[in-house]
Amino acid sequence: MRRSYIGLLSVCLFATVASACGSQMSEEEILARATEIHSQLITIDTHVDISSDFATPEDDPGIRGDRKVDLPKMREGGLDAAFFAVYVGQNERTTENYQQVKADAMVKFDAIHRMAEEMYPDQIEIPYTADDMVRIHEAGKLAACIGIENGYAIGQDISLLETYHGLGARYMTLTHNGHNDIADLDKVLEKAESHEPPYRRILIITDGVFSMDGDIAPLDEIAKRAEEHGAMLYVDDAHGEGVLGEDGRGIVSHFKLDHRRVHVEMGTFSKAYGTIGGHISGSNDLVRFAWNKSRTWLLSSSQPPPVAAATIAAIDVLETEPHHVQNLWRNTNYFKSAVQDLGFDTGKSQTPIIPVIVGESSKAKELSNKLYDNDVFVVPIVYPMVSRDQARIRAQMHAQLTIEELDKVIEVVERIGKDLEII
């Protein structure tokens, strides 16, 4: 049984100028051949942000292990090759945009190379020829092919796809697509719904609030598309609970949806609630299914009673003391407006996650260190967790801070920002 797990993604195809036997092929023939091979593979399609998910605990001590791609475990599970397709948002192949497309893609390619060469050198290798494919396969390692969407390819040719197909390999495709791109989601769902043989189930997976930029998924539009195509919808609302919606109920409440339209809602108790653990919420059928089929549930111990009691108390506070969420948004709007007025770049933030984008990783680290020396603790977010030119500190607002305390922080941020020539 073939299955497809679809976030905001698309299937990767590789296009070049030569076939395995070296004869010239048109672009249409190349795409047709790649599509033919791909249709015969056992494929899991997943949407990952390469710059974030291939970070290591050394780069970010707070990284969540369950959010990181674990290639050794994939290998143990029977994975034979990993195709990394980098989507760069160019819909037409033109002479003018080709060089820009390549430049945009190289940022993600850097992360993939780093993964193969530094993180898992004994598990994965990047092939450049068909002979490389055979050698890597015989050595029992993963072959990481790098391609680019919309008919482009860099450094790969279809002979790699044909060679590994001939070896009987199965494939995992990891793709990076347009962020919050509903038009792209439409295309993916249309392709998935028309697939032959039909997929047993289509599942759209999205964050509610995106942790690096603080922007919000258009869950109402995504839910609409899910209904139109008979797809299930899963939202990770770790950063939305205690923040969005009525009394902090989260993104489902924010968009006035319910669990008839959002089938799976995941959350954590370790952020706004201030305890530990998390939850999966949905219909009674979903809960019973998880109780009986989820390996992590079956093999986990229950929460200690004090933790469960503290979590229930935190939920009670949110339900009965609405001023906490109100204070959070008051502080968010006050601080964000102040740093924007000073000339800092806060990106696309729509929530109490407020990035202050400074560009170079060294600059973000220096800003964070100098703020810490002045009693302001803000974590730097650097490459490869974000693109090379998008390093930042990430301010996360708190409901209990006073305006006087925020003014002191703003004063320090302004002074150090000027010293470092950020503003």
How is the chain split into domains, by residue range? 1-200, 202-321, 323-419
Point out the catalytic residue in the list 10, 211, 349, 368: 211
Parallel/antiparallel/unpaired status of strands 391-396 and 379-381: antiparallel
| Catalytic choice (68, 271, 324, 365) | 271
pLDDT tens digits, 336-379 = 999 999 999 999 999 999 999 998 889 999 999 999 999 999 99
Catalytic annotation, pick one of 38, 141, 239, 263 = 239
Query: Has this prediction a pTM greater than 0.75?
Result: no
The residues pairing with 144 across neighbouring beta strands, listed in sequence order, are: 82
- Whole-number pLDDT of residue 131: 78
Low-confidence ranges of the chain (pLDDT < 70): 1-116, 119-120, 142-178, 384
What is the pLDDT at residue 421? Answer: 92
Pairing of strands 232-236, 202-207: parallel
CATH code for the domain defined by 202-321: 3.40.640.10
Q: What is the pLDDT of residue 49?
A: 37
**Contacts for 154 with CB less than 8 Å, ≥ 6 apart:** 102, 105, 109, 146, 147, 148
Is-catalytic flag, 191? no
297-312 burial code (b ≥16 CB/10 A, e <16): eeeeeeeeeeeeebbe
Q: What is the DSSP letter of 199?
A: P
| CB of 156 closer than 8 Å to CB of 15 | no
Q: Is 239 a catalytic residue?
A: yes
Torsion angle of C-alpha atoms 341, 343, 346, 348, degrees rounded to 10:
80
pLDDT at 377: 94
Show the CA angle centred on residue 195, arms to residues 235 and 154, nearest 5°: 80
State the fold for domain 323-419: Aspartate Aminotransferase, domain 1 (3.90.1150)
